[in-house]
Amino acid sequence: MTASERGSTTDWLSVARSLASNVIGPRADEMDRSDRLPEQIRTQLGASGLMGLTAPTEFGGAQANTRVVASVLETLSVASAAVATILSVHLAVATGPVVDHGTIEQKRAWVPKLASGEWLGAFALTEPSVGSDAAKLATRYSRADGGFHLRGTKMFTTSAESADLIVLFATRDPQLGPHGISAFAIPKGTTGLSVGQRLNKLGIRGSETVELVLDDLALPESAMLGPEGQGFRIAMEALAGGRIGIAACALGVARAAFEQMRTAAAQDPADWKRTAVARAFGELSAASALVYRAADVKDQGLPFVEEASAAKLVASQAAMHIASTGLDVAGIAGARSGSPAERLLRDARVFPIVEGTTEIQELILGRSLVDRS
């Protein structure tokens, strides 16, 4: 059932809770070991309507607000940070740019499929030697044969091996910096697009992360997303919103680690463990307040970049610290390879990196706070 068929009164948090406890949770460790997303989870995620959470109702989506999306991602991430991250990328940085910048023809062609869960979306900005400084992209496009030819390599692209539509960024001329960059939407199976290495990651295993090779990839004029030269702005805008989703995923890991820590402390209480739980509670509460504040500010239509960066910064640090302290409280059992506490620590380590590192959030926040004062 699509998100819009479920109707505007759907309790999406209950849908997410049911999916997390009945489908995702039971297979989270298997996913971590195999580093594969089970077909059952991919199918159920689509059938749940959650993949259409943010799309407009006229294209089959639920048009849910950011607070609802954040609560869904947090809930899924308690069960599996990998699945929550796949959904966050699909909604915010793959479906989002098509909805916000696509022509009516592009939206009609792609958004209903993304919203129904038939299609999975990906976002390809990072390259082998370009990460934080995305204005320096080396993947190039040129105009040819009434369309475009693209050449280059993308790195660390979440879901790109399975993705049906990839929102990808390339430059007309690296000398032009951000002004040379344009966005493209590339359907699966386009000749010249292939998957290179599949990266074996520390955390969020089960969410595939791949290298994409663009070997004289030919695209029609209709593949360009938004005006030519506006790709950098489109990417930055998508990432600002996406950061609230990634912060919610980190919050889910922090919450899962906190609950494990509390259970372990209750089984073998000691004052130092009570102190650790009390501190973790403070970190978790602060992260939660920031994530939902960022969501509310965005939902009110106000500038939200500072709130989104602060939420991502604090939630990813909370996830790392609580997961790390959780290992101490769990004792030797937590340090066992394959223990849930160990998986949470590995998953937590990814969140200070994706969709802008901690240092980049500090740069964004610092510039914004100081330069507007």
Ligand X SMILES: Cc1cc2nc3c(=O)[nH]c(=O)nc-3n(C[C@H](O)[C@H](O)[C@H](O)COP(=O)(O)OP(=O)(O)OC[C@H]3O[C@@H](n4cnc5c(N)ncnc54)[C@H](O)[C@@H]3O)c2cc1C
Is residue 359 a contact residue for ligand X (CB under 6 A)? yes
Which tokens is 300 given?
Answer: 């009110």
Q: What distance in Å separates the CA atoms of residue 170 and residue 183, rounded to the nearest whole number?
A: 7
Exactly one of 253, 360, 364, 365 binds ligand X (CB under 6 A); that residue is: 360
Exactly one of 57, 153, 324, 357 binds ligand X (CB under 6 A); that residue is: 357
Exactly one of 210, 234, 354, 365 binds ligand X (CB under 6 A); that residue is: 354
Which tokens is 278 given?
Answer: 């009390």
Is residue 126 a contact residue for ligand X (CB under 6 A)? yes
Q: Report the residue number whose CB is nearest to ligand X.
A: 131
Is residue 315 a contact residue for ligand X (CB under 6 A)? no
Q: What distance in Å separates the CA atoms of residue 97 and residue 351, rounded to the nearest whole number?
A: 22
Is residue 139 a contact residue for ligand X (CB under 6 A)? no
Which tokens is 108 given?
Answer: 């009609």
Instruction: Tell me which residues in 78-107 interact with ligand X (CB under 6 A).
Output: 89
Q: What distance in Å separates the CA atoms of residue 45 and residue 19, rounded to the nearest whole number?
A: 8
Nearer to ligand X, 67 or 201 (CB): 201
Nearer to ligand X, 99 or 168 (CB): 168
Active site residue 58: no
Q: What distance in Å separates the CA atoms of residue 135 and residue 26, rounded to the nearest whole number?
A: 41
Nearer to ligand X, 157 or 171 (CB): 157
Is residue 363 a contact residue for ligand X (CB under 6 A)? yes
Exactly one of 350, 351, 364, 365 binds ligand X (CB under 6 A); that residue is: 350
| DSSP at 199 | P
Exactly one of 171, 209, 230, 325 binds ligand X (CB under 6 A); that residue is: 209
Is residue 124 a contact residue for ligand X (CB under 6 A)? yes
Exactly one of 157, 182, 288, 317 binds ligand X (CB under 6 A); that residue is: 157
Nearer to ligand X, 10 or 85 (CB): 85
Residues 6+ apart with CB under 8 A from 38: 27, 30, 31
At residue 196, the 3 state secondary structure works out as strand
Exactly one of 148, 156, 232, 304 binds ligand X (CB under 6 A); that residue is: 156
Nearer to ligand X, 109 or 363 (CB): 363
Catalytic site residue from 74, 283, 342, 355:
355
Distances (CA, A) of 140 to 152, 171, 174, 181: 6, 5, 8, 9
Is residue 41 a contact residue for ligand X (CB under 6 A)? no
Burial class of residue 94 in the structure, from the number of CB atoms within 10 Å of its CB (0-12 exposed, 13-18 middle, 19+ buried): buried
Residues 6+ apart with CB under 8 A from 1: 47, 49
Which tokens is 297 given?
Answer: 């500010």
Euclidean distance between the first and the last CA atom of the chain, given in angstroms as a whole number: 49
Nearer to ligand X, 124 or 341 (CB): 124
Is residue 125 a contact residue for ligand X (CB under 6 A)? yes
Cβ atoms 127, 137 nearer than 8 A: yes
What are the residues binding ligand X (CB under 6 A)?
Answer: 89, 123-126, 131-132, 156-158, 201, 204, 209, 350, 353-357, 359-360, 363
